[in-house]
Structure 1
Amino acid sequence: MAIPELSPAQACTRLTHGAVLIDVRQSHERAGGMAEGARGVALDELLADPAAHLPSQRQELLLICQSGKRSADAAQALLAAGYCNVASVSGGTVAWREQLLPLVQPLTDAAEQDFFDRYSRHLLLPQVGEAGQRRLQRARVLVLGAGGLGAPAAFYLAAAGVGQLRLVDHDRVERSNLQRQIVHTEASIGQAKVDSARERLLALNPTIKVEAVPMRVSAENIDGLLEGVDVVLDGSDNFPLRYLLNDACIQHGVPLVYAAIERFSGQVTVFDAGRQRGVAPCYRCLFPEPPDPAFAPSCAEAGVLGVLPGLAGVLQATEVLKLLLGIGEPLIGRLMRFDALSMQFRSSRFGPDPHCPVCAPGAPFPGYIDYAAFCRGS
């Protein structure tokens, strides 16, 4: 049976004659404005128990959504359920707004309105939605390093609404950083990187918390830094720190999102051996021994294309959000390599080392070692 459709102007007229208008959009969509006189009842709630919201099957019912499709589907379902006087508003709230018909803002406090406005594009994604965004709001992420990788990654995590970011870095901003560490500005030179980053992140999203920790990470303080953290993002640039961070994340059962860059190339992966022993590999499984320093120069020694850490950092931020939301396929057991000059991405799989001294099933935690000596080969 064809669903009757009314224009927004016709629906507005019918309201004055006693029709009931139901907005079937989700609450975050209605936060942007509803047709005046409409009641908000999300589509799934309405169809789950129509009688709870629409006791009379003879009442004239008008349904409206964003563009008209969901309301037409809902009207069809209500007709099948015995409601005999149902119509859909053609063009939905978009057309209602375009025709300058009256809109109202649902009653909500300022913080909730900010939430719905700020994350409106996330809220439209079925994989995120309001529940997922609330999960991000409660999440805590440790970003180790406020430099080339940490700068873009932290920017996007802050924008995405990750509720608490713990930034750890002992360095101060130098002019040479500004070519790639986009969280800092000329005015930040000489300032602690974590303080500079905190200012910029809160300017972008004042609803989150940013904890600035101007500290050199060591075996003595790593456990405290990992306390209460859901995911760790590794923006470090030296091998002793990477091995320390790997071991600590296994000990605490926290996933670790890793990246490294050099000149025009980079690599990204996710280590989650602490929660998935024998299934997910760790950093030591991929790199049992540190490379010869001659073959792994730092950016200060070899140089780096300014945009390259941005590319790697954004990939890291993407993996962090996937882990927090429990969506997609994280890069666990997959190493993503990319070459900016040829703009090619290659993914290769690697598995856990059954003899790994840190993450092998049943292996007791060996404790933290002298990582600098380990990386020197002494």
Structure 2
Amino acid sequence: MAIREILPEHVAPLLAQGSVFIDVREDHERASGQAEGARGIPKAQLEADPFAHLPDRDASIVLVCQKGGRSMEAARVLEAAGYTAVFSVAGGTSRWIEEGRPVVMPVLSDDARDFNERYSRHLLLPEVGAAGQLRLQQSRVLMIGAGGLGSPAAFYLAAAGVGQLRIADDDVVDRSNLQRQILHTEARVGQAKVASAQATLTALNPRTRIEAVAERVTVDNVERLLEGVDVVLDGADNFPVRYLLNDACVKLGKPLVYGAVQRFEGQVSVFDAGRHRGHAPCYRCLFPEPPPPEFAPNCAEAGVLGVLPGVIGLLQATEVIKLLLGIGDPLTGRLLHFDALSMRFRETRLRHDPDCAVCALDLPFSGYIDYPAFCRAPA
């Protein structure tokens, strides 16, 4: 028997004759209501092992989804598996509801309802879905800095549902920060930046745990800060910390999402040499030595357009999420430049340096160095 597409009005007679009614949408989709009499089995789960859910291949089976497309796809899979009487509801649950047919609300815990509602737009993306969102929820990210880059990145990583954000920064909120460091407010001037960040982000998404570490990153604490994290986001504003982070990430095999801003320009990349030795470059492959301080002034000396860290920080957050989910093409081996005045992006290809002092293939880690002295910066 060929697959038949039926209207919602034809479902009730089939159910009265003993047909099995299955809603193949995802759990979060059914949370807003499903056709009365339907049993929820996500499409992928049903297709993976139809016989586990439907042992009788001669039974009459009615499938419904949101609009009718996925139920028809699932029906074809069942037909190919030997099922002889499969029906798909045209127009799906949307048409069912439009026609005023009875709908039931699945019983969900408060936590499940919050999860489904909060991340509903992620859950609709096949590249994320429930499995990807749970992966984000189980992830841990270390953010160095709660300033210009860390502020927008932290907002979106918390909103996206990263399970734990460990934020390290020993600075306090200054009024001059408020032009670009959007985690903070006038009322928090003088407060530790990590405490301010924790308050803001917890209010945004209480599901994300914010670990506030009021410390400057040094050779003495860097490995403790990196312990247990999946990705490191570099929001530092000085070369000694950047080189230290790079070396530690290479040693410990952590991907490092780099960002930097100055005046009207910024850049972003992903350095993942620790996990891909001999292939992916590290920060030292790009900058074997730091520039003299007079040629690399910080924001306090050179100034910065307030919105610029927002652009770069959001690009960093995007790369972090891609790395956590294992989707897309990360900026590994690519340096993305942004010029705000001309509103142009350009890309530079980066190659692994086979003679790199830190990530050369089979080169043992030689230990941390005096990074302020290496960068000719004051201790």
Per the TM superposition, whether the score is higher than 0.5 is yes
AA at the equivalent of 2:183: V
Partner of 1:216: 216
Instruction: Report the CA distance shift for 1:345/1:217 in structure 2 as closer, same or farther (over 3 A).
Output: same
Partner of 1:142: 142
Q: Deviations over 1:161-182 (max 9, x none)?
A: 1111000111111222111111
Q: Equivalents in 1 of 2:278, 2:57: separation in Å?
A: 59
Q: Equivalents in 2 of 1:49, 1:254: separation in Å?
A: 37
Partner of 1:121: 121
Q: Equivalents in 1 of 2:158, 2:226: separation in Å?
A: 19
Partner of 2:8: 8
Q: Deviations over 1:213-271 (max 9, x none)?
A: 11111111111111111111000001111111111111211111101011111000111
AA at the equivalent of 2:180: R
Q: Equivalents in 1 of 2:259, 2:87: separation in Å?
A: 54
TM-aligned CA deviation for residue 344 of structure 1: 1.0
TM-aligned CA deviation for residue 114 of structure 1: 1.8
Residue 310 in 1 paired to residue 310 in 2?
yes
Q: Equivalents in 2 of 1:71, 1:362: separation in Å?
A: 53
Partner of 1:281: 281
TM-aligned CA deviation for residue 363 of structure 1: 2.1
The 8 Å contact of residues 336 and 345 in structure 1, kept in 2 or not, is answered as yes
Structure 1: any 5+ residue segments left out of the alignment? none
Q: Equivalents in 2 of 1:216, 1:77: separation in Å?
A: 57
TM-aligned CA deviation for residue 290 of structure 1: 0.9
Partner of 1:234: 234
Residue 199 in 1 paired to residue 211 in 2?
no
The 8 Å contact of residues 293 and 377 in structure 2, kept in 1 or not, is answered as no
- Which stretch shifts more, 37-46 or 341-350? 37-46
Instruction: Report the CA distance shift for 1:286/1:33 in structure 2 as closer, same or farther (over 3 A).
Output: same
Partner of 1:329: 329
User: Counterpart of 1:233 in 2: which secondary structure?
Assistant: strand
Instruction: Report the CA distance shift for 1:282/1:50 in structure 2 as closer, same or farther (over 3 A).
Output: closer
TM-aligned CA deviation for residue 145 of structure 1: 0.2
Q: Equivalents in 1 of 2:97, 2:146: separation in Å?
A: 44
User: Counterpart of 2:242 in 1: which secondary structure?
Assistant: helix
Instruction: Report the CA distance shift for 1:106/1:273 in structure 2 as closer, same or farther (over 3 A).
Output: same
Partner of 1:154: 154
User: Counterpart of 2:199 in 1: which secondary structure?
Assistant: helix
AA at the equivalent of 1:201: L
TM-aligned CA deviation for residue 2 of structure 1: 6.8
User: Counterpart of 2:257 in 1: which secondary structure?
Assistant: strand
Instruction: Report the CA distance shift for 1:36/1:187 in structure 2 as closer, same or farther (over 3 A).
Output: farther
Q: Equivalents in 1 of 2:51, 2:166: separation in Å?
A: 49
Q: Equivalents in 2 of 1:301, 1:167: separation in Å?
A: 25
Q: Equivalents in 2 of 1:205, 1:48: separation in Å?
A: 34
- Which stretch shifts more, 277-286 or 123-132? 123-132
- Which stretch shifts more, 58-67 or 81-90? 81-90
AA at the equivalent of 1:295: F
Structure 2: any 5+ residue segments left out of the alignment? none
Partner of 2:92: 92
Q: Equivalents in 2 of 1:152, 1:290: separation in Å?
A: 27
AA at the equivalent of 2:86: V
AA at the equivalent of 1:363: L
Alignment length (residue pairs): 378
Partner of 1:105: 105
- Which stretch shifts more, 4-13 or 133-142? 4-13
Instruction: Report the CA distance shift for 1:330/1:43 in structure 2 as closer, same or farther (over 3 A).
Output: same
Instruction: Report the CA distance shift for 1:143/1:49 in structure 2 as closer, same or farther (over 3 A).
Output: closer
Instruction: Report the CA distance shift for 1:85/1:285 in structure 2 as closer, same or farther (over 3 A).
Output: closer
TM-aligned CA deviation for residue 27 of structure 1: 2.5
AA at the equivalent of 1:126: P
The 8 Å contact of residues 222 and 248 in structure 1, kept in 2 or not, is answered as yes
The 8 Å contact of residues 152 and 310 in structure 1, kept in 2 or not, is answered as yes
User: Counterpart of 2:170 in 1: which secondary structure?
Assistant: coil
Q: Equivalents in 1 of 2:252, 2:58: separation in Å?
A: 60
Residue 53 in 1 paired to residue 59 in 2?
no
Partner of 1:257: 257
Q: Equivalents in 1 of 2:176, 2:367: separation in Å?
A: 37
- Which stretch shifts more, 13-22 or 312-321? 13-22
AA at the equivalent of 2:346: R
The share of aligned pairs that are identical, in percent, is: 65
The 8 Å contact of residues 32 and 117 in structure 1, kept in 2 or not, is answered as no
Partner of 2:364: 364
Q: Equivalents in 1 of 2:199, 2:377: separation in Å?
A: 40
User: Counterpart of 2:151 in 1: which secondary structure?
Assistant: helix
TM-aligned CA deviation for residue 9 of structure 1: 4.0
Q: Equivalents in 2 of 1:363, 1:19: separation in Å?
A: 66
TM-score by length of 2: 0.93
Partner of 1:169: 169
The 8 Å contact of residues 3 and 85 in structure 2, kept in 1 or not, is answered as no
Q: Equivalents in 2 of 1:373, 1:23: separation in Å?
A: 64
TM-aligned CA deviation for residue 56 of structure 1: 4.1
AA at the equivalent of 1:111: D
Q: Deviations over 1:144-203 (max 9, x none)?
A: 000000000011111111111000111111222111111112222221111111111111
Q: Equivalents in 2 of 1:252, 1:342: separation in Å?
A: 39
TM-aligned CA deviation for residue 15 of structure 1: 3.8
Instruction: Report the CA distance shift for 1:89/1:273 in structure 2 as closer, same or farther (over 3 A).
Output: same
